[in-house]
């Protein structure tokens, strides 16, 4: 029989790193900021990511027996109702994520088969969205039948994507010395190249940085499987912060070597990772080899993430559902243990989010870029609950004890939690401003702005409706 307390700090750090980090984080932020993102990474790491990870370390140490993650932390520090809203937020922010995954699958297959992203970039967005809808509904059906094989594929793909991300940094940074390549960006040794201009356009990109570094609380359920959890779990979080910082900085410098920071291609956020491996293949004389490896790994990862993200967040929401907040009909399961009505509800919401944007955004490149930005607005909303829980354990510091404390002074701890909460909310709100210029396309700017504002409002409002439906259901039963 395996020892329950088998995980060590280095296991925690690696598991968190694989779940938090990816090459897309480097590419997306470089596409928005160029090499000035290096300074942005340094600032976000010091003032946001380090306190974020160490706060999670303290929360994990305080509630090392809790299995529900963030919702358990909120339940312990506040009320059942707020714990429900934390669980709801964790689930509902995956709706835009699920809507984007079929696009990622098509893009990966396009690069694998054609060696470019032309299929996605040239075909009408309405047709692509229809194909994406079919892909999503197919995997919705597959997920309802069981996920064992897909989880195994996902573990393999996750490891492969991690290796490819590290390989990218090594190959790109080494290319000038090993292959005699010249950097595409001029003046990379000048400090001025890395200094951002603080304006509204810059501030709208902060949500993408927050999105990139968030999510380490996902491994909180593993606290009670960690040896000497109160010491080793926070240590794992510290190592995670160092690993992410190194990869973000070196990855951004590598992007500057491959793509001119002063002339960034419009489709870099969509095709950048594939184009980067295509360039590295040319540098090292291996043709499409790296592109094929990355395309296979990424398509497998996207498939697994799609199927797993349909199932896991929904089960977290419904497994411990309180019938005061969630109607029993939504929790109804079939013979396989699948919450069929929950799947149907997920299917309806994701289908709407796949179809409607294509009616207002005709260009597929712009649609993928917008969907990525929407995820950067919506996904960080779940981090807000982490910071609330951290504020509340400091406010109730006499009630909760922990072998590890990020800061010993509860007032300072509360202020740190408040700062992270306000900064996250600030990034999400500013991120709602579209990345395209109003003067370039008035209609599309207004459409994107409306979708950016309405999507999170509607998703949260649905969570507020659920308790009313639950009360109505209970009255009918009586």
pLDDT in tens, 309-328: 888 788 778 876 778 899 88
For 121, other C-beta atoms within 10 Å of its C-beta total: 17
pLDDT averaged over the chain? 89
- Give the range among 90-94, 111-115, 139-143, 379-383 with minimum mean pLDDT: 139-143
Highest mean pLDDT among 143-147, 221-225, 375-379: 375-379
Q: pLDDT tens for residues 229-251?
A: 778 888 888 899 999 999 999 99
- Give the range among 64-78, 87-101, 247-261, 455-469 with minimum mean pLDDT: 64-78
Residue 14: per-residue pLDDT: 85
Secondary structure (3-state) at 207: helix
Q: Find where tokens 């520090």 sit.
A: 77
Angle ∠(122,126,127) on CA atoms, nearest 5? 65
Instruction: List the CATH number of the domain containing 32.
Output: 1.20.1740.10
Question: Do the domain assignments include residue 285?
Answer: yes
Question: Do the domain assignments include residue 3?
Answer: no
Average pLDDT over residues 52-74: 84
Residue 204: per-residue pLDDT: 95
Average pLDDT over residues 36-45: 96
Q: Find where tokens 């750090």 sit.
A: 13
Residue 432: per-residue pLDDT: 96
CA-to-CA distance for 370 and 126, rounded, in angstroms?
15
- Give the range among 140-149, 213-222, 450-459 with minimum mean pLDDT: 140-149
Residue 135: per-residue pLDDT: 95
pLDDT band at 363 (very low <50, low <70, confident <90, very high): confident
**DSSP secondary structure code for residue 45 in this structure:** I
CA-to-CA distance for 430 and 424, rounded, in angstroms?
10
CA-to-CA distance for 176 and 477, rounded, in angstroms?
72
Residue 338: per-residue pLDDT: 80
CA-to-CA distance for 338 and 226, rounded, in angstroms?
30
Q: pLDDT tens for residues 405-445?
A: 889 999 999 999 999 999 999 999 999 999 887 777 888 89
- How far is the CA of 141 from the CAs of 175, 343, 407, in angstroms? 45, 9, 47
- How far is the CA of 402 from the CAs of 139, 188, 398, in angstroms? 42, 46, 11
Q: Are 311 and 318 in contact (CB under 8 A)?
A: no
Q: Are 297 and 160 in contact (CB under 8 A)?
A: yes
Q: pLDDT tens for residues 10-24?
A: 888 888 887 788 899
Question: Do the domain assignments include residue 319?
Answer: yes
Q: How many Cα atoms occupy the beta-carbon half-sphere of 44 within 13 Å?
A: 25
Phi, psi of 226 (to 5 degrees): -100, 135
Residue 5: per-residue pLDDT: 62
Q: Is the pLDDT of residue 146 over 70?
A: no
Q: What is the dihedral of CA 110, 114, 118, 124, to 10 degrees?
A: -60
CA-to-CA distance for 8 and 6, rounded, in angstroms?
7
Secondary structure (3-state) at 7: strand
Question: Do the domain assignments include residue 2?
Answer: no
H helix or E strand, kind and range, residue 421: helix 410-431
Residue 473: per-residue pLDDT: 82
- The alpha carbon dihedral of 276, 277, 282, 283 has a sign of positive
CA-to-CA distance for 70 and 89, rounded, in angstroms?
10
Question: Do the domain assignments include residue 4?
Answer: no
- Among residues 324, 272, 292, the alpha carbon closest in space to that of 466 is found at 324
Residue 417: per-residue pLDDT: 97
Residue 130: per-residue pLDDT: 94
Q: pLDDT tens for residues 202-222?
A: 999 999 999 999 888 877 767
Beta bridge partners of 339: 333
Question: Do the domain assignments include residue 468?
Answer: yes
- Among residues 359, 368, 351, the alpha carbon closest in space to that of 137 is found at 351
- Give the range among 139-143, 145-149, 360-364, 389-393 with minimum mean pLDDT: 145-149
% of the chain exceeding 70 in pLDDT: 95
CA-to-CA distance for 233 and 402, rounded, in angstroms?
12
322: left (phi over 0), alpha (psi -120 to 50) or beta: beta
Average pLDDT over residues 119-131: 86
Q: Is the pLDDT of residue 37 over 70?
A: yes
The residues, ordered by sequence, that sit 6+ positions from 399 with a Cβ below 8 Å of its Cβ are none
Total tally of structural domains belonging to the chain: 1
Question: Do the domain assignments include residue 75?
Answer: yes
Average pLDDT over residues 395-406: 88
Question: Do the domain assignments include residue 461?
Answer: yes
Domain range enclosing 288:
9-477
Cα 304 from chain centroid (whole Å) = 15
Average pLDDT over residues 29-53: 96
pLDDT band at 258 (very low <50, low <70, confident <90, very high): very high
Q: Is the pLDDT of residue 1 over 50?
A: no
């Amino acid at each position: 029989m395996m020892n329950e307390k088998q995980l060590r700090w280095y296991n925690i750090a690696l598991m968190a790193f694989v779940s938090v980090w990816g090459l897309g984080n480097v590419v997306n932020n470089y596409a928005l900021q160029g090499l000035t993102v290096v300074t942005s990474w340094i600032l976000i790491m010091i003032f946001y990511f380090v306190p974020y990870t160490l706060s999670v370390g303290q929360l994990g140490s305080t509630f090392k027996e809790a299995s529900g993650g963030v919702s358990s932390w909120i339940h312990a520090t506040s009320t059942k109702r707020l714990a429900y809203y934390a669980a709801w937020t964790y689930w509902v922010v995956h709706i835009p994520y699920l809507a984007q995954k079929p696009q990622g699958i098509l893009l990966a297959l396009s690069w694998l088969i054609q060696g470019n992203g032309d299929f996605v970039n040239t075909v009408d967005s309405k047709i692509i969205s229809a194909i994406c809808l079919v892909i999503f509904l197919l995997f919705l059906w597959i997920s309802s039948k069981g996920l064992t094989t897909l989880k195994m594929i996902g573990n393999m793909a996750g490891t492969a994507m991690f290796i490819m991300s590290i390989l990218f940094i090594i190959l790109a940074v080494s290319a000038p010395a090993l292959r005699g390549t010249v950097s595409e960006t001029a003046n990379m040794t000048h400090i001025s190249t890395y200094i951002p201009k603080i304006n509204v356009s810059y501030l709208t990109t902060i949500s993408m940085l927050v999105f990139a570094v968030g999510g380490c609380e996902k491994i909180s359920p593993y606290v009670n499987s960690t040896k000497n959890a109160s010491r080793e779990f926070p240590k794992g979080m510290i190592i995670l912060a160092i690993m992410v910082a190194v990869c973000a900085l070196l990855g951004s410098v590598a992007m500057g070597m491959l793509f001119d920071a002063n002339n960034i291609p419009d489709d870099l956020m969509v095709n950048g990772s594939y184009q980067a491996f295509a360039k590295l293949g040319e540098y090292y004389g291996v043709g499409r080899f790296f592109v094929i490896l990355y395309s296979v790994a990424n398509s497998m990862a996207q498939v697994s993430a799609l199927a797993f993200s349909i199932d896991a967040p929904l089960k977290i929401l419904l497994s411990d559902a309180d019938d005061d907040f969630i109607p029993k009909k939504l929790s109804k399961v079939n013979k396989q243990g699948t919450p069929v009505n929950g799947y149907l509800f997920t299917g309806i919401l994701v289908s709407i989010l796949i179809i409607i944007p294509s009616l207002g955004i005709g260009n597929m490149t712009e649609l993928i870029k917008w969907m990525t930005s929407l995820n950067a607005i919506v996904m960080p909303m779940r981090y807000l609950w982490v910071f609330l829980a951290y504020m509340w354990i400091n406010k109730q510091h006499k009630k909760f004890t922990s072998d590890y404390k990020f800061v010993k002074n509860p007032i300072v701890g509360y202020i740190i939690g408040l700062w992270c909460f306000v900064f996250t909310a600030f990034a999400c709100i500013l991120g709602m401003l579209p990345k395209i210029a109003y003067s370039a396309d008035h209609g599309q700017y207004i459409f994107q702005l409306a979708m950016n504002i309405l999507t999170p409002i509607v998703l949260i409002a649905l969570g507020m409706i659920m308790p009313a439906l639950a009360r109505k259901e209970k009255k009918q039963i009586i």
